[in-house]
Structure 1
C-alpha cells in the first residue's frame, strides 16, 4: 500500500467516524425534543422538506406530528409551530421567553450580523425603543405622516394617468412609491419614477427576494457554509442588493458631513446624534455598523413587503371586478371624487377595510414569519425546549387556520364583515406577527395601504388584459416571501 493510499483511507475513515458521531449526537438530542421526522446525517430533513416544497411540507408534517414538532434544517434542530392557538402561545402567552432572534443565514449575510432584526437581549431592547420613538417623532402612526403619503400617492395617480389607458406593469412603480415613503423618514429622500438607475435597484431588490424565496434560497438557509462554495442562483441574491446597500452607506456619509444636531431631519440624523452621545461606551449598540444594517433592514421591510401587498391587492381588484364596483360605491359615498382620502375615512368604510384585511390574509406575504429562539429553558405543550433552540412560528398556518376563517383557502370578504356589513376584527389576522417583536412598521404599512388603495380606486377603474376568469394570481414563489405574478393592468380614469 502506498503512503498516499494510506492517507486517503485514513481521511475517509476519519470523515466516516465524524459523520457517525455527529449523527449519533443528533439522534441523542432528538429524543429530548418534540416529535418530528427522522433526520439524516448532515442534511437533516432537507430531502423531506424540499420534495414537495417547504411550506406544503411543513403543513403536511403538522398533520402527522401535531401543532408543535421538530424539524432539522440541515443539522440545525428547529421547533415548528403551526396554527393560531400554538402560534399565539409562543408569540404572545410566552412572548417574553421567545424574544430571541433565531438563525437566519441569509439575513446574517445581508446585515453583516448587525441591525435591529438580528440584535438580541438588551441591545435589541435599546435599539427597538429608540427606533420606535424616533419613527413616531417623524410621524409613524400619526396624522402628520398622512400628508407625505397623500403626496406620494398623487405622483402615482399622475403616472397611471399618463399611461393613457395602455396596459402597464405597475409593480416596480408601486415599489418606488412605497420606497419613497419610508425613505422620507429614514433619509429625507425621494426618487422619481423615471429614474432608471433607481428603478433598476428596486427591480434588483424584487429579484433578490424571489431567489431567497425559491428552493435556492431555502437551501442556502439550511446549508450556508456549503452553498457559499456551490454555483447556482443563490449566489446572485446578495449581489442584487449591493447597490441599495451602497446607497444607504452613501446617505449615512452625507448625513455625517452636513448634520445639524439641533435640528435632526430624519432617522439617520437621530441615530448619529445618539452615536455621539454614547461614543465613550464601548458596549453600545449605537455604532455605524448597526446604523447601516438597521436602515437597510427597515428599507427592505418597508419598501418590499408593502409593495408586494399593493401588487397583490391590484391583482385581486382586476380578478374580481364586482369588488371594485362596491369599493367605488363606498368611496363615492364617503369621500367623493375630488377630496383626497384620509386615514380617518377608514372608520367609515367597512367594505374597504375588510377588503384590505382579506387581501393581506390571502396574499400571505411573509408565510414563514421570522424565526425566533428561546431565551431560557421553557416547556411548550409538555415538551421541554432548551435555551437557544430556534423556533419557527409559521404565520401562513395562522392566516389559513380553519378555526379562525370559514373558508381559509378562498378569498372571502365575510372573514372581516359581520352580518350587518360592519367591519369585525379576527384574532387569526397576524400578517405582522404578534407580541413584543411584532413588525416595527405595522402602523405605517396599514396607513400606506389604505390611502394608496382608496386614492387609486377613487381615480381609476382597473382592468385586466385577459378575461378575469383566466387570471392566475397565485404566488410564483412562496418561501420567505410570497412573490406576486407579473401582470399588466389598464388604468381607466373615472371622470
Structure 2
C-alpha cells in the first residue's frame, strides 16, 4: 500500500513540475496550442502527416508558433518569409544544430550533420573544398556518374520488364558514386562489403525515423535503461566504423602527399598539414564525416529517383514528352551529359518540378539558436529548439517550351501542384 502511495505522489509531483515548467516557459515563447503535462502537444499532431498539422497551426497562431514534444518546447517557423528571415537575415544566430540524445552518443559531436561551433565550421569548409577538388558539382565527375547510370540501366534490364521493387537498385547507384569519391573504388552490386555498408546505413536511417526514436528524443533516459531497436543503431554504427577505419589505414600505407586520390586522402593530408586543427582531424572525425556524407548523398538521391519514377508512371503524358525530347537531343546511342541540359528545357523543368513536388525533407533537421535572440517580437532563448518548414507555392516547371525548341509540338506548360 505504501508503495502505491509513493508512486501516486511521484506522478503527481511530476505533473506539477511539468505544468510549472510549461507555464513559465510559454510566457516568453511564441503562441501555440496548449500542451498537456509530460506529453506536450503530441496528441494534437497528426504523426502520419505532420505538415498538415503545421499548416493548421500556422493558420491559427501565425507563421511562428510553439509546440511541445513531451516537455521540450520547439519553435516552428512556417512559410517562406519566416524561414528566409531566419536563415538569411539572422543566419548566424539560427545556425546551431539540435543534436538528439541518440545522435550525441553515436556521433559524439563530430562530423557535419550533428556538430556545432568550430567543429562544424572547420569540417564543413574542408568537406566542401575537398569535394569540389574531387569534381563534385563540376564536369570532371561526369564520367563517374555516366558509368554508374549505365550500370543502373543494366541492372534494371535484368528484371526483363517484370514487376520489381527498385528501392535497392536505386540505392546502390548513388552509393557507388559517393564510394568512388570517398574510397576511389566502385563496387559490384553483389559485393558483400558494399551490401553490408548499404544495409547498415539504411537500417540506421530507418530506425532513426521510427516512432520509438521520437519517444527517445522526448524521454532520453530510456536510452540507457531500456532495451530496444536503438541498440541496433550502436551496433550498425560500430560495424560501419570498422570498415571505414580499415580503408583509412590502407590509405595511410599508400598515401602520396602530392597526389590525393579521394576524400580520405584529402583528410589524411590535411591532418598532417593543419597544425592548428590537429585535434579536429582525427580518425574518429573522419569516420563520422564519411558516414554523414554517405547518408546525405545516398538517401536523398535514391529517394528522389524513386519518387521521380513513381510520378512519371502516374503521368505518362509527361513521360512521353520527356522521351521525345531525349530522342531528339540525345538519341539512343550515347549517354546524356551536362551539355545537353541547355537543349532540354522540358526535361530540366520536370526534374525541378519533381524535386519541388516530393517535398523530400519538409522540416529540415532540427536547429537551435546560438544565443538568445528577439525574432518577430518574440524572445527565443538559446536552449530552445526550432524547426523550419518552407512552403514553395511556385513551380520551376512553368516555362514556355516552344521558345526553346520550336521543332517539337507539345504543350506550352506543365501543370503545377501545391502539396
TM-score, normalised to structure 1's length? 0.74
| Aligned twin of 2:414 | none
Task: Give the Cα–Cα distance (whole angstroms) in 1 for the partners of residues 149 and 53 of structure 2.
Answer: 40
The reply on whether 1:23 has 2:19 as its aligned counterpart is yes
| Aligned twin of 1:357 | 352
Q: In structure 2, which of residues 97, 116, 119 is the aligned counterpart of residue 120 of structure 1?
A: 116
Q: Does the CA-based 8 Å contact 2:167-2:306 persist in structure 1?
A: yes
Instruction: Count how many residue pairs are aligned between Structure 1 and Structure 2.
Output: 405
Task: Give the Cα–Cα distance (whole angstroms) in 2 for the partners of residues 319 and 40 of structure 1.
Answer: 42
| Aligned twin of 1:411 | none
| Aligned twin of 1:428 | none
Does 51-60 or 185-194 show the bigger shift? 51-60
| Aligned twin of 1:132 | 128
Q: Does the CA-based 8 Å contact 1:175-1:304 persist in structure 2?
A: yes
- With CA pairs under 8 Å and 6+ residues apart, which has the higher RCO, 1 or 2? 1
Could you say if the C-alpha distance between residues 285 and 8 of structure 1 is closer, same or farther in structure 2, counting changes exceeding 3 Å?
A: farther
Q: CA deviation at 1:140?
A: 0.9
Aligned residue for 1:154, secondary structure, equals helix
| Aligned twin of 1:320 | 315
Task: Provide the aligned C-alpha RMSD in A.
Answer: 2.8
Q: CA deviation at 1:118?
A: 1.9
Q: CA deviation at 1:15?
A: 6.2
Task: Give the Cα–Cα distance (whole angstroms) in 1 for the partners of residues 295 and 403 of structure 2.
Answer: 34
Q: Does the CA-based 8 Å contact 2:345-2:401 persist in structure 1?
A: no
Does 340-349 or 210-219 show the bigger shift? 210-219
Q: In structure 1, which of residues 161, 170, 177 is the aligned counterpart of residue 173 of structure 2?
A: 177
Task: Give the Cα–Cα distance (whole angstroms) in 1 for the partners of residues 91 and 163 of structure 2.
Answer: 47
Does 322-331 or 111-120 show the bigger shift? 111-120
For structure 1, the 5+ residue unaligned runs are: 406-413, 424-474, 476-495
| Aligned twin of 2:137 | 141
Task: Give the Cα–Cα distance (whole angstroms) in 2 for the partners of residues 199 and 214 of structure 1.
Answer: 22
Aligned residue for 2:221, secondary structure, equals helix
| Aligned twin of 1:310 | 305
Task: Give the Cα–Cα distance (whole angstroms) in 2 for the partners of residues 217 and 13 of structure 1.
Answer: 29
Q: CA deviation at 1:30?
A: 1.2
Q: Does the CA-based 8 Å contact 1:111-1:293 persist in structure 2?
A: yes
The reply on whether 1:347 has 2:347 as its aligned counterpart is no
The reply on whether 1:98 has 2:79 as its aligned counterpart is no
Q: CA deviation at 1:158?
A: 1.9
Q: CA deviation at 1:351?
A: 1.1
| Aligned twin of 1:220 | 216
For structure 2, the 5+ residue unaligned runs are: 405-418
Once the two structures are superposed, what CA deviation does each residue of 1:236-273 show, in whole Å capped at 9, x if it has no partner?
Answer: 45545554343223322322333222322111111122
Aligned residue for 1:384, secondary structure, equals strand
Task: Give the Cα–Cα distance (whole angstroms) in 1 for the partners of residues 10 and 161 of structure 2.
Answer: 69
Could you say if the C-alpha distance between residues 248 and 167 of structure 1 is closer, same or farther in structure 2, counting changes exceeding 3 Å?
A: same
Could you say if the C-alpha distance between residues 319 and 203 of structure 1 is closer, same or farther in structure 2, counting changes exceeding 3 Å?
A: farther
| Aligned twin of 2:245 | 249
Q: Does the CA-based 8 Å contact 1:184-1:190 persist in structure 2?
A: yes
| Aligned twin of 1:418 | 399
Q: Does the CA-based 8 Å contact 1:103-1:390 persist in structure 2?
A: no
Once the two structures are superposed, what CA deviation does each residue of 1:112-141 show, in whole Å capped at 9, x if it has no partner?
Answer: 332111222233222111111111000011
Task: Give the Cα–Cα distance (whole angstroms) in 1 for the partners of residues 207 and 277 of structure 2.
Answer: 40
Once the two structures are superposed, what CA deviation does each residue of 1:43-63 show, in whole Å capped at 9, x if it has no partner?
Answer: 222222356653333332222
Could you say if the C-alpha distance between residues 35 and 303 of structure 1 is closer, same or farther in structure 2, counting changes exceeding 3 Å?
A: same
Q: CA deviation at 1:227?
A: 5.3
Q: CA deviation at 1:16?
A: 4.1
The reply on whether 1:35 has 2:31 as its aligned counterpart is yes
| Aligned twin of 1:426 | none
Could you say if the C-alpha distance between residues 241 and 326 of structure 1 is closer, same or farther in structure 2, counting changes exceeding 3 Å?
A: farther
Once the two structures are superposed, what CA deviation does each residue of 1:154-173 show, in whole Å capped at 9, x if it has no partner?
Answer: 11122222333333322211
| Aligned twin of 1:193 | 189
Q: Does the CA-based 8 Å contact 2:349-2:399 persist in structure 1?
A: no
Q: CA deviation at 1:207?
A: 4.3
Task: Give the Cα–Cα distance (whole angstroms) in 2 for the partners of residues 238 and 53 of structure 1.
Answer: 29
Q: Does the CA-based 8 Å contact 1:188-1:265 persist in structure 2?
A: yes
Could you say if the C-alpha distance between residues 201 and 136 of structure 1 is closer, same or farther in structure 2, counting changes exceeding 3 Å?
A: closer
Q: Does the CA-based 8 Å contact 1:39-1:45 persist in structure 2?
A: yes
Task: Give the Cα–Cα distance (whole angstroms) in 2 for the partners of residues 384 and 422 of structure 1.
Answer: 50
Could you say if the C-alpha distance between residues 20 and 344 of structure 1 is closer, same or farther in structure 2, counting changes exceeding 3 Å?
A: same
Could you say if the C-alpha distance between residues 290 and 314 of structure 1 is closer, same or farther in structure 2, counting changes exceeding 3 Å?
A: same
| Aligned twin of 1:470 | none
Q: Does the CA-based 8 Å contact 2:109-2:116 persist in structure 1?
A: no
